Structure 1
């Protein structure tokens, strides 16, 4: 069995998670973890809740559609997993405060916060009215503040707690599609993740971000084929990303395997933020 290396550390330095041998990690990567995961009623959050539960976590989810998060959690519990789901408008600070407290009481604390949910405000910049802009900022940036701020006291009480903030490739680079508000909000999410890593360090709290590329969710399936072809072609893998690919990034960052990773961004974008596609572009199959 692999042995832990006694690496030196500064006297009094906080712990960011326990050491786990390869043998112990199989099927148990999140054993005992208590996780808040936003947006579990569909898309990435839907897939991620089951994956995280399958690795031993107790996962409390949220959704805006009445009863949907609870119904899905019931499906997971029927499989033997520890799960819960609550209705919550994450753009409402008081509603989030109540949701976080409910989850903390139910699970006996909070170890991990995964900010997955978002709903963008989209329009060409010249046509971007104040209402659309405010909607996007409220539902892509403010909701991250709401969840992290309300969960912070519980995370400080933990041993090796961490936060994951989902951003986007448009937070890293511009796009010729009408995403000004989306880009602004997601760029701010990247900055917030780095800042929370800095402020959380003394308390053993890690914070990282994930930047997805084109994830093929239910919503994306309705966009015009010509637009989809262009978006897929921008990724060097030449294929859209499955929600499970983002879920696995959450799994790794939430685990103690990532205990020395903080203030980092993990692109899960088919290579589009780091390379050009060259001559491989064409219509989607």
Structure 2
């Protein structure tokens, strides 16, 4: 058997128009999975969809979705199941990261960050789990962050709080669905080269590199490799776990 072979599987990846989400979708498709991607950025999503199809030859279904809207999430999941037949793998990747000190964070901004970064995980899991239970197979992977463990940067207390919430969400949900062949895990990336981290100052980036054992920023592909393992048959005995992919900046 080929290690990590996902032929015949269908994967949903949120926030897949760019960065880690796009890399994750590519990695899963390269291993044989058909892919459904969503994002709020329609133009970038269309480009990503075309690139994934051309690069892998796999089926790629896309839809613009506001993942903080439960009705839109439910419609997307229903459409994917109709178009691709099922959902075996869910990757909750999409997130936002406003950089504001607590005095500058409005109630609306706080609610939006929680809606996108953790409530959407609840919406998607609730929508896909019935089908996974029926088929007695599922892989749910939620992207957290090193910030969920160590508090992250000085700004963005709401972001850090949501990423900590992801870890507890995963640990609880895993207990509810494990008997049905569904695993639920988190990945906690360190500093990855994406549009989100490009807003960091050179000093902030150097501070990260000083703590790193590997002495480089991570790439989106580094996260994709971890997702592909957790999505595979070979990871069937791994659940309620948080995989750190950070170059050794946080050793716990």
For Structure 1 versus Structure 2, the TM-score category normalised by the shorter chain is over 0.9
Once the 2 structures are TM-superposed, how far is the Cα of residue 115 of structure 1 from its aligned partner?
A: 0.5
Contact 2:146/2:190 (8 A) holds in 1: yes
Matched, 1:43 2:15: no
Secondary structure of the corresponding residue to residue 76 of structure 1: helix
Deviations 1:126-174 (A, max 9, x none): 3332122112111111111111111121221223211001101111123
Contact 2:146/2:152 (8 A) holds in 1: no
- Which of 132, 148, 157 aligns to 1:155? It is 132
Give, in whole Å, the separation in 2 of the partners of 1:176 and 1:36: 30
Query: What's 1:198 paired with?
Result: 175
Give, in whole Å, the separation in 2 of the partners of 1:33 and 1:221: 33
Query: What's 1:59 paired with?
Result: 35
Query: What's 1:122 paired with?
Result: 99
Coordinate RMSD, CA, aligned: 1.6
- Bigger Cα displacement from structure 2, 112-121 vs 37-46: 112-121
Matched, 1:246 2:227: no
Secondary structure of the corresponding residue to residue 225 of structure 2: helix
Give, in whole Å, the separation in 1 of the partners of 2:206 and 2:29: 34
Query: What's 2:62 paired with?
Result: 85
Secondary structure of the corresponding residue to residue 91 of structure 2: strand
Query: What's 1:12 paired with?
Result: none
Once the 2 structures are TM-superposed, how far is the Cα of residue 206 of structure 1 from its aligned partner?
A: 0.7
Contact 1:235/1:272 (8 A) holds in 2: yes
- Bigger Cα displacement from structure 2, 48-57 vs 72-81: 72-81
Call closer, same or farther: CA 1:176–1:111 in 2, change over 3 Å.
Answer: closer
- The two structures have a TM-score, normalised by structure 1, of 0.83
Contact 1:74/1:84 (8 A) holds in 2: no
Call closer, same or farther: CA 1:175–1:114 in 2, change over 3 Å.
Answer: closer
Q: Where do 5+ consecutive residues of structure 1 fail to align?
A: 1-23, 276-285
The size of the alignment, in residue pairs, is 251
Secondary structure of the corresponding residue to residue 42 of structure 2: coil
Query: What's 1:268 paired with?
Result: 245
Query: What's 1:73 paired with?
Result: 49
- The two structures have a TM-score, normalised by structure 2, of 0.94
Secondary structure of the corresponding residue to residue 62 of structure 1: strand
Q: Where do 5+ consecutive residues of structure 2 fail to align?
A: none
Secondary structure of the corresponding residue to residue 109 of structure 2: helix
Q: How does 1:176-187 map to 2 (within 5 A)?
A: 176-187=153-164
Query: What's 1:258 paired with?
Result: 235
